Amino acid sequence: MKRLNRTFIAAALLVFLAGSLAPALAAQSIWQRMAQGFPNSLVVYEYVYEYEGPGLTVSAQIPQLIGAPDLAWQEAFNQGLRDNLADYASWLKDIAAEALELDSEYRPQPYAGFVDFEVKLNQGGLLSIAVVNYVYTGGAHGMTYYDYLNIDLTCGQPISFSQIFDTEAEIERAAAVIAEQIKQERDLFFDDTFTSDQFREDQGFYLQENHAVICFTLYELAPYSSGIPEFAISAP
């Protein structure tokens, strides 16, 4: 299933250096900047795309940035997301048209794609955005996918899971929090425990002022009815 793609975003960030922010924040940890940092001058606004056609509805709002110190990087970032959205809409149009050709008489529900986002953190030289993509292409229900854009604006780099949980002890602490919540809500999950080796290399997460929220995909830890599992991990 095609989603909004982070590959371009990660590459584009490598060319950006917010020099005016770096000296003041370099000595602070990401956790400190999450909780104590001043609001960024960067503003996130919406780019809206709507399409209604034979057998398909697409409604999308994607993040765009204004106020970054490097205007070339900002435009590359924004254009990259718009290009990904155009590819996504084109893919949906193609498969919807193919489905209509195969079965033009019986289509109880049109295909659909809905994209939206939420800014989770925008301070301390950090930006964290959750992008949600719901796709319906037939069957009993659609599927929901999340991408998480976590950016350190002081160096133009994406923030990795290993930067937040940067020692074995921290990884084990996060796993223990998840295991305890699963234990308390056992009926919502497939298994009754969780261990640190279940974290993925590209583990999804977003940042808030006092927590890093670790996120899993549909069916990864729980049935569809349980939704997207999220676990808030407090600062060490």
User: Would you say residue 22 has pLDDT above 70?
Assistant: no
Extract the tokens encoding 73: 């990087």
Question: Residues 227-234: what's their mean pLDDT?
Answer: 94
Query: Which of 159, 185, 203 is the last residue in one of the domains?
Result: 159
- pLDDT on residue 13: 41
Mean pLDDT of 184-208: 93
**Mean of per-residue pLDDT scores for the chain:** 86
pLDDT (mean) for 103-126: 87
Q: Of the given ranges (47-51, 68-72, 112-116, 161-165), which has the lowest mean pLDDT?
A: 68-72
The verdict on 149 and 195 lying in the same domain is: no
Q: What is the DSSP string of 161-199?
A: HHHHS-SHHHHHHHHHHHHHHHHHTGGGSSSS---GGGS
- Position 104 scores a pLDDT of 62
Domain C-terminal end among 159, 188, 223: 159
* Residue range of the domain that includes 80: 1-159
pTM for the model stands at: 0.87
Query: For the chain, how many structural domains are there in total?
Result: 2
Work out the pLDDT band at 1, boundaries 50, 70, 90: very low
Q: In Å, what is the CA distance from 224 to each residue of 1, 102, 148, 187, 195?
A: 17, 29, 20, 13, 21
Instruction: Kindly compute the dihedral angle of the four CA atoms of residues 177, 178, 183, 188, in this order, to the nearest 10 degrees.
Output: 150
Report yes or no: 34 and 235 within 8 Å, Cβ to Cβ: yes
pLDDT at 20 over 60: no
pLDDT of residue 18: 44
For residue 205, the domain's CATH number is: 3.90.640.20
Give the model's pLDDT for residue 68. Answer: 85
Measuring CA to CA, which residue among 45, 34, 41 is closest to residue 20? 41
